[in-house]
Amino acid sequence: MKKITMGLGIFVLAIGLAACGGEETEQEETVATPEEESVAVDQDINSIIDTESIPEIIATVNGEDIEKEIYVANLQQQASSLAMQGFDLDSEEGRSYLEMIEESILQQIINEKLIVQAANAEDIEVSEEDIDQEIATLIEELPIESEEDLQALLDEQGVTMEELRSDIVDYVKRDKYIQQNLTITNPTEEELQALYDEMLAMVEDESEAPAFEDYKDELEYSFLQEQEQEQTMQLVENLRETSDITIHI
């Protein structure tokens, strides 16, 4: 992946860097997986995914083109992950599943672009401090200890720090826009109890389930997450209804 675009790229990059950063640890602890295996997986993926047939512009959203790089990077990452788990992508079932992944990634990228465009329309700004904070978080989540280590991993991926910081800007804009347009309410005791009752209904032995009072924090978190997901989906749906989207794939 030579260039990262949009907020979605951060997650692809994080997965790629985590795998890259984790290789040395695994090699130290276990004598390492031969490079030939990794190359073989990549070759198999490339034979299954015909990247040459993918147009350079995969979609146009409100006049802005989306290049294929981020789409291909996400698709290859997902496919490689499945292949490493032993999923036969060359089977009829595997190809059918891959088609669903392709559509899901495409729509997710379009949704990301819509949200960033909406954030720009509302003049949402991202400070250098915001970017630095996200980089610090990324360093914490990767098997590295410093920004110098991150820079080394970026160099291996052919990505510059400037590209990463630019990608983070869109990611933070997206997050700020969503948070500013959500109306999240705290659950009542009755709503938490209803969630707890639903959980109990799925447990074979209720005596093994945690007590309601002990599980309230988890129930509240689940309630708030569900609200955020539902409202975000509606937010994106509203943006799609008022946008001009052309898919070129």
Q: For residue 163, is pLDDT > 80? A: yes
Percent of the chain with pLDDT over 70: 82
Task: Give the CA angle between residues 109, 113, 116 to the nearest 5°.
Answer: 140
Lowest mean pLDDT among 17-26, 103-112, 154-163, 181-190: 17-26
Confidence class of residue 141 from pLDDT cuts 50, 70 and 90? confident
pLDDT average, residue stretch 238-243: 97
64 forms bridges with which residues in the sheet? 61
Q: Where are the domains of the chain?
A: 8-179, 189-241
| pLDDT of res. 156 | 83
Has this prediction a pTM greater than 0.85?
no
Joined tokens for residue 116: 């960033």
Cβ distance 174 to 5 under 8 Å?
no
Q: What is the mean pLDDT of the chain?
A: 83
CATH architecture for the domain at 8-179: Orthogonal Bundle (1.10)
3-state secondary structure of 128: helix
CA-closest candidate to residue 23, choices 157, 160, 167: 157
| pLDDT of res. 23 | 43
Joined tokens for residue 161: 């720090």
Q: What is the pLDDT of residues 51-71, one digit of tens each?
A: 889 999 999 999 999 999 889
| pLDDT of res. 44 | 63
Judged on CB neighbours under 10 Å (0-12, 13-18, 19+), 109 is buried
Cβ distance 163 to 122 under 8 Å?
no
Question: Rounded to whole angstroms, how far apart are CA atoms 4 and 12?
Answer: 9
CA-closest candidate to residue 169, choices 2, 10, 1: 10
| pLDDT of res. 21 | 44
**What b/e string do you get for 117-136 counting C-beta neighbours within 10 Å, with b at 16 or more?**
bbbeeeebebeeebbeebbe
